[in-house]
Structure 1
Amino acid sequence: MSKLLYLIGVPLFTMFLLSADGRIADANDLSSEVQFGIQGHYRVGVWTGIRYSGSENIKTLETRDGDGAEVLYEQVGVLTDGDWAYAIPGSEAAPLILRNGEATIASGRFPTTGSPSRGAAMIPLDMNWIVVLGDPLGVDKVGANKLLNRDASIAVSQPTKSTELPDSMLGYEGVDMIMINAAGIELLQSLTKKQRVAIEQWITGGGHLFITLGESCQDLFKAAPWVQKLLGITEPKTTTIDPSAIETYTSTQSPLQNFTGLRLPRKRGTVLITGKTTRRVSLPVAAVYNLGFGRITAVAADLDDEMFTAWPERLDLMTQLTGDILLPEKKDIAITNRGTAYGDLAGQLRATLDQFEVKRQFGFSVVSIILMALIAMIGPLDYLLINRFLGRPLLGWLSFPIVAIALTLVLIYEARPNLNGSPSPSDQTTGITRCNRVEIIDIDAISGVGRGFQASCIYSHDAALLNIDINESPNFDKLADSIQQALLSPLGYPGKTYGGIQIAIEDTRLPPYAIKLQQSGIDNTNVPTGPLQNSILNAPLAARSSKSVQTLLRFTPKLTNYPSLQRRDGSELLKGELVNPLPVDLLDGMLIYRNWAYLLRTRFPAGGRIERIDSLRQKNFRWRLSRQTALESSRDTEEWDPSTVATPDRVAEMLMFHNAVGGSRYTGLRDDALSSLDLSHTLSDDRCILIGRLADELTTLKLSDGESKIENNGKSLTMIRLVLPVASEKDL
């Protein structure tokens, strides 16, 4: 009987202790509420907004990165009720703890993968995510089927209050498109200044805005004058538009009536639908305007009014105007004979950077032979030698440890670093550390916006705790007038995108590290201002391992004089003078306009001039990307190898112009994780891109172990793209 009571009592007592601990760790503030992302929607591996509502103060967010290590995100200042904090979840349902010093204020987990139409959920990369400020216009029903019990295939977040929207562009990092229409006027009017600036910076930084501007556009511009400013409209005027152009564009059998719409600008952007007013005056009905590195798709109609709501082709019209964003689903890319664990270009970039000459590599066949040799030596060979040949079985107690120790010594010797010559003084002092980097800097001379992306892979031969900071070079100081954002964060997570298998998100073997956000200034109300920066403190690296980090920059470029090129009438060719307005030399550069690439000389010096663009050699840009050559009766295209990890310059080219080369049809890989780097949509009639390689890095990673600086020797590649305006001869 006593044993039975013992068996029952111990589990009950243990469960009581665990439940008590859970209540304590759950929250010190029982009235607190935590909002994840936008209406509970978020993506793994990107900055995510977390809004806290409660009576306590918050200083730190604790979660796990993609490696399972504990990471503390120290926020700027002290967060109170209603403030937004930002962190990067490393996996689905990653744990989250809100702290004030050592005290736990609230805890929980990020939502799991589910149906975004049913509530809070993690949104996978192969599902498009749209934030709607107003009427969803039927987008929230795409792919849904009640009869088959199938949910919508597009994630739609439809906030009803301004408090549900982040106050930083970081909170929109995983969003594919924002929709604005007349039904969202009240919500737009209630946005704070920080929320408005966040949306503006997201658009100019590479976002996509879809906006309807019909009869209610005057009220919309009054509620959100920043939208009118983005479109470059000084005096908005409406007119009555004949619907025949939209009917022809969609091949509809359901006629529309005349409607009121805004007179969209026509001297810039790309006109998608050209219609006429009731007075037979031509005007754009739908157009795309490039703004910075993003774009705005505008329709001169209120698609949320009764006429368009009852029109069966409304969703078809929106789908044709926005490309593949509103398609029901993204088809999986075949992985037959691909031989890679990743399915995204981001995974190939990470694998390319994770190649270090100092690290000896062995194939799986070599490891298999070593294991089979060990089994043979401690098994059949040991038995035949000790028992049969020598006849002394007790020697087996001596032969087995000798074989194990000898093999261990051989493996330790073969695992030594592959150094050419003797170690450098830095390697002897701080250990062998290497850092490979790919850096892409973009500048839009038209909007005066600059951004930067750096992917770095850090390798340490011995276990280490590293402090990581961003260091700007003198050339970058010449290029940038001011910096608004310089953020470091972990890059990658296990899964189909980057490769790898997630065994457990909580890895207690690695010590925790911190990512400290900070702003240098304070305004009159004691609110932190100035550039948003951070540093990584005590990042753990196991022996013979690597860790990937990324850098996101946003800055205002310092360009005093940049060329304005001209387009010849009736062709895609340019004319005029080309000047390099950058303070750095361009190597292996070219000027890209539409589908033409003008090849520059090997070195285009800073301030250099080319009097006539038409004197440059011209190549088909898509052919150049795919290394396609024309033979006598056929074409020869270089097939893309997703498993190659020896050409970081080619991987960078694909990331920068993936859609231009044919997208997944050419590479066999998705481009979801780093799709914002693709500027294929920028190759329009009114702008061109000057691109080239730089001899030196513009930014570097400053590594230290807390006591001494570590030289991050390694390979690096720095690419720069400059977006320049193009005017037609008619406009001059």
Structure 2
Amino acid sequence: MIELWADWVRNPWNFRRRLRDESSVVEHRIAAGLLSLLQWACCLWIVTVLVAWPKDAVAWQGSGEITQVAVGLGQRFKPGHWTPVRVTLISGDQSLVGRLRLTTLDSDGVPVHYVTDQDISIASGESGVVTGYVRFGSLNPRLTVSVIAEDQVVLERTLGVGEIGEGVLSTDYLIVTFGESLGVEEATHEKLNGAHAYHAASVTAASELPLRWEGYDAIDVVAIGTSDLSALESLSEKQVRALQPWVALGGRLMISGARHANDVFRSGGLFEEWSPGELQRVSKEVRTSDVANYLSAAEELEPFDVAVISAIKGNVQAFVDSSRRKQRPLVTHYPYRLGAISYLTVDLDREPFASWSPRAELVARVLRVNEDDNDLASSSSTGIGKVSHIGYDDVVGQVRATLDQFRNARPIAFSLIATLIGVYILLIGPGDFFFLKKVIRQMHWSWLTFPAIVLSFSALSLWLWQLTRDTKVKVNQLEVIDLDVESQLVRGTTWAHCYSPRADVYSLGMQIDDSLVGDAKVLLAWQGLPGDTLGGLDATSLRPALDFAYTIDVDAESEESIQQLPLNVSSTKSLVGQWHGSFSSDSEFALQTNRNGELLGRFRYELPYELEEGLLFYQNNVYPLKRTLDAGQVVEMAGLSPKKLKSQLQSVRGMTVASAPYDAAATDDVPRLLDVMTFYDLAGGRSYANLSHRYQTYVDLSSAVRNGRAVLVGRCARSVSRLVREGDSLESDYDQQWTFVRVVIPVSTKSETEDGAL
């Protein structure tokens, strides 16, 4: 036997013949078994080597290292939101040149490469920091950080679960403080609680702040104190330019400052555009009882500095001295384009407020002034109970469900599938047995009946699949266009669902109609589903669904922002496009309000789109427009009859019913869905909609109405944004499309026109 194996080493090709001729039966079987085992082991080794072989050849031969990866702000991030990733690199004995690539899973479990146009160039022996942007698909993601040069991996580091930072739910509140503590941490821990948790993060170094506005996408409020001028002056021009558009596009800023208020709000100052009014002076307030009484605080407050303001913008929430209400506000809220600013006229990070325990209550009241009061209470059973059968708990989930309804691609009902499976099991088991046993009485015919049943049900399944699928690419799209008349800023949000009839890859971008805005900046990505249901962003784990990764180019602007997106047969992909720019219009809005809060004046509509089903919202009233608005048409407010705003929002358009329950599962009433999204808080919030509105809260314009502005809402038959595939428009592939325009209009009050100041 040993001689046979020695001969195999010398001449393996002749081994099997000698084994058969010269060995016994037992020896032959043993040797043949060992030979087969050896052959299978060799095959397994070859397959393992091929699978594990690195896909990207490393051409760069120098040394280098990815030393640090900082995710989010204050090491906090939200899944489904744009998140900054700061990567610290050290070059070795050669210069490090390339681009940053971040890889993680989207909410469908598909790997995504996130790239930017920023070039990396670090001299030999030096270090540098580069920032990328990513959207995580789950609470516990993995992240691969790579440096790419000429499509080859130069450096790479993978961060596993728990190494990235602390993820918070996609619908939780995340408040970031820059600089010294303003009491936000105490407020979130002690005073703020409700259906959605509050989280505080702190950024002490200016270098940690993003250089692009989307870096603040996951943040609900940015809180800044002005008492430390050196910290504010350390902000770069790019960082200030990143913060300004974020607030303008719907973000919220909380500023606290008295001592250096004039330095930051003056002409040419860092926060000139965010000035709350005309700053007169900074004075010492010795009467502190009104502040304590406002907070129902028993603890006394020492005298403090306060900024005295006139010509105040927006609404005053609380006053320092009730005897001098016109010039001594404590908290004021005012709009900044499509966003909002809350200003406290005192230094919360300085004494006596820094050590005053009721400070947390003051901050809590400021932070929750624009929130749905029902959302702060414990979650109602009516809202939470719906999740089990509709699959979502946020209005964005209802948007996804609506856009998933393609007219010629209806999904097969689960009840039908369950029924067919039950019938199949009955036929192939007891049905077949009793038919052969009792009817034919010949059991051997099972060789014919069994495959006949299998083939019949296979053909039925194939027929049902062909019946319910479409053979063409289809797109459903909902877009909301917001225009701020005062600043001529336009913001667009486009939700699109793409249906693919076959397995294919798509390179997609988004084009904006240049008749409205010619310099649009577009950010196109996948759209997530908030919640912990199947496919939800708040799931604790997510497994890769495909090995094939697609690419999102954050700097691609319009064409092919998404490259090589894989879609399976008869599958859909949810996308969201966020874009903004400026528009030029000759529209004139001269609206005023009388003592009863009713609108007076007129406006001339000059946008390049006809506006249908127009409604003008202001304070507690809504003014239905009598006809479709054409370009150049003038509307006199005297000819419009107001209705109660809440009754309008809680009724179905076109019906005379004063109030109707909201159906959170409906997918066939897009105008009513948009009304709830636009004025969620004013409509009653969760107590009315049975859904939260926390994933994309900037869509809610309730704060604009609260801050004294009017909002004109209407529908356009023409789309403003369009998906393109490899440069060609997909407009001919659109199945259903809705476009809504919302115009935010300033309103002058009697006090402003006559007195000039509060």
CA distance in structure 2 between the partners assigned to 1:389 and 1:230 by the alignment: 88
CA distance in structure 2 between the partners assigned to 1:654 and 1:28 by the alignment: 56
CA distance in structure 2 between the partners assigned to 1:213 and 1:50 by the alignment: 30
Alpha-carbon shift at residue 363 of structure 1 (Å): 2.4
Q: Identify the residue that residue 408 of structure 2 maps to in structure 1.
A: 358
Alpha-carbon shift at residue 617 of structure 1 (Å): 2.0
Q: Identify the residue that residue 497 of structure 2 maps to in structure 1.
A: 457
- Of 706-715 and 86-95, more deviation after overlay is shown by 706-715
Cα pair 1:240 1:278 within 8 Å, conserved: no
Amino acid at match of 1:74: V
Change (3 A) 1:400 1:330: farther
Alpha-carbon shift at residue 643 of structure 1 (Å): 1.4
- Which residue, 191, 198, 208 being the options, matches 1:164? 208
CA distance in structure 1 between the partners assigned to 2:369 and 2:377 by the alignment: 8
Amino acid at match of 1:433: V
Pair 1:371 & 2:421 matched: yes
Amino acid at match of 1:70: P
Change (3 A) 1:623 1:516: same
- Which residue, 618, 639, 647 being the options, matches 2:642? 618
Q: Identify the residue that residue 694 of structure 2 maps to in structure 1.
A: 672
Q: Identify the residue that residue 18 of structure 2 maps to in structure 1.
A: none
Q: Identify the residue that residue 96 of structure 1 maps to in structure 2.
A: 143
- Which residue, 719, 722, 726 being the options, matches 2:743? 722
Q: Identify the residue that residue 35 of structure 1 maps to in structure 2.
A: 70
Pair 1:507 & 2:544 matched: yes
User: Over residues 34-53 of structure 1, what are the superposed CA-to-partner deviations in whole Å (9 max), with x where a residue is unaligned?
Assistant: 11111321110111111111
Change (3 A) 1:94 1:310: closer
Pair 1:86 & 2:133 matched: yes
Q: How many residues align?
A: 679
Alpha-carbon shift at residue 609 of structure 1 (Å): 0.3
Change (3 A) 1:123 1:718: same
Change (3 A) 1:219 1:225: closer
User: Over residues 106-135 of structure 1, what are the superposed CA-to-partner deviations in whole Å (9 max), with x where a residue is unaligned?
Assistant: 33237659xxxxx93011134321110123
Give the secondary structure class of the aligned counterpart of 2:542.
Answer: coil
Cα pair 1:268 1:686 within 8 Å, conserved: no
Q: Where does 1:479-628 land on structure 2 (aligned, <5 Å)?
A: 479-483=516-520, 485-493=521-529, 495-496=531-532, 505-509=542-546, 511-518=548-555, 535-568=561-594, 570-610=595-635, 612-627=636-651
Q: Identify the residue that residue 114 of structure 2 maps to in structure 1.
A: 73
Alpha-carbon shift at residue 332 of structure 1 (Å): 3.4
Change (3 A) 1:372 1:457: same
CA distance in structure 2 between the partners assigned to 1:577 and 1:543 by the alignment: 54
Change (3 A) 1:455 1:497: farther
Change (3 A) 1:194 1:411: same
Amino acid at match of 1:67: D
Q: Identify the residue that residue 431 of structure 2 maps to in structure 1.
A: 381
Amino acid at match of 1:69: V
Amino acid at match of 2:640: L
- Which residue, 658, 674, 683 being the options, matches 1:652? 674
Cα pair 2:225 2:349 within 8 Å, conserved: yes
Q: Identify the residue that residue 411 of structure 1 maps to in structure 2.
A: 461
Alpha-carbon shift at residue 189 of structure 1 (Å): 1.3
CA distance in structure 2 between the partners assigned to 1:161 and 1:287 by the alignment: 28
Give the secondary structure class of the aligned counterpart of 1:702.
Answer: strand
Change (3 A) 1:599 1:708: closer
User: Over residues 209-228 of structure 1, what are the superposed CA-to-partner deviations in whole Å (9 max), with x where a residue is unaligned?
Assistant: 11112123245558992313
Change (3 A) 1:289 1:718: same
Q: Where does 1:106-255 land on structure 2 (aligned, <5 Å)?
A: 106-109=156-159, 112=162, 120-142=165-187, 144=189, 154-182=198-226, 184-220=228-264, 225-231=269-275, 237-241=281-285, 242-255=287-300
Give the secondary structure class of the aligned counterpart of 2:423.
Answer: helix
Change (3 A) 1:207 1:363: same
CA distance in structure 2 between the partners assigned to 1:413 and 1:641 by the alignment: 34
Amino acid at match of 1:159: V
Pair 1:266 & 2:311 matched: yes
Change (3 A) 1:707 1:309: closer
Q: Identify the residue that residue 61 of structure 1 maps to in structure 2.
A: 102
Cα pair 2:211 2:239 within 8 Å, conserved: yes
Q: Identify the residue that residue 711 of structure 1 maps to in structure 2.
A: 732
Alpha-carbon shift at residue 278 of structure 1 (Å): 9.4
TM-score, normalising length from structure 1? 0.85
- Of 171-180 and 507-516, more deviation after overlay is shown by 507-516
Change (3 A) 1:269 1:280: closer
Alpha-carbon shift at residue 364 of structure 1 (Å): 2.4
CA distance in structure 2 between the partners assigned to 1:442 and 1:497 by the alignment: 31
Q: Identify the residue that residue 31 of structure 2 maps to in structure 1.
A: none
Pair 1:395 & 2:419 matched: no
Alpha-carbon shift at residue 481 of structure 1 (Å): 4.7
Amino acid at match of 1:712: D
Give the secondary structure class of the aligned counterpart of 1:564.
Answer: strand
Gaps (5+ residues) in structure 2? 1-33, 122-127, 191-195, 754-758
Give the secondary structure class of the aligned counterpart of 1:226.
Answer: coil
Give the secondary structure class of the aligned counterpart of 2:515.
Answer: helix
Give the secondary structure class of the aligned counterpart of 2:218.
Answer: coil
Change (3 A) 1:608 1:278: closer
Cα pair 2:559 2:724 within 8 Å, conserved: no
CA distance in structure 1 between the partners assigned to 2:222 and 2:746 by the alignment: 26
Alpha-carbon shift at residue 676 of structure 1 (Å): 1.1
CA distance in structure 2 between the partners assigned to 1:646 and 1:580 by the alignment: 30
CA distance in structure 2 between the partners assigned to 1:195 and 1:515 by the alignment: 23
Cα pair 2:80 2:170 within 8 Å, conserved: no
CA distance in structure 2 between the partners assigned to 1:446 and 1:710 by the alignment: 32
Change (3 A) 1:467 1:589: same
- Of 599-608 and 262-271, more deviation after overlay is shown by 262-271
Alpha-carbon shift at residue 243 of structure 1 (Å): 2.6
CA distance in structure 1 between the partners assigned to 2:742 and 2:81 by the alignment: 24
Q: Where does 1:327-346 land on structure 2 (aligned, <5 Å)?
A: 331-334=378-381, 335-336=384-385, 339-346=389-396
CA distance in structure 1 between the partners assigned to 2:304 and 2:480 by the alignment: 45
- Of 397-406 and 664-673, more deviation after overlay is shown by 397-406
Change (3 A) 1:410 1:290: same
Q: Identify the residue that residue 466 of structure 1 maps to in structure 2.
A: 506
Alpha-carbon shift at residue 671 of structure 1 (Å): 0.8
Alpha-carbon shift at residue 281 of structure 1 (Å): 6.9
User: Over residues 405-428 of structure 1, what are the superposed CA-to-partner deviations in whole Å (9 max), with x where a residue is unaligned?
Assistant: 111111211222559xxxxxxx8x
Cα pair 2:252 2:341 within 8 Å, conserved: yes
Work out which of the two has the higher radius of gyration on C-alpha atoms and give 1 or 2.
Answer: 2
CA distance in structure 2 between the partners assigned to 1:533 and 1:271 by the alignment: 45
Amino acid at match of 2:486: I
Change (3 A) 1:233 1:257: same
Amino acid at match of 1:511: F
When the two chains are superposed, the root-mean-square deviation of aligned CA atoms in Å is: 3.6
Q: Identify the residue that residue 12 of structure 2 maps to in structure 1.
A: none
Alpha-carbon shift at residue 104 of structure 1 (Å): 5.4
CA distance in structure 2 between the partners assigned to 1:124 and 1:317 by the alignment: 26
- Which residue, 84, 90, 105 being the options, matches 1:49? 84
Give the secondary structure class of the aligned counterpart of 1:262.
Answer: strand
Q: Identify the residue that residue 528 of structure 1 maps to in structure 2.
A: none
Amino acid at match of 2:659: T
CA distance in structure 2 between the partners assigned to 1:389 and 1:503 by the alignment: 55
Alpha-carbon shift at residue 74 of structure 1 (Å): 2.4
Amino acid at match of 1:400: F
Cα pair 1:265 1:284 within 8 Å, conserved: no
Cα pair 1:42 1:48 within 8 Å, conserved: yes
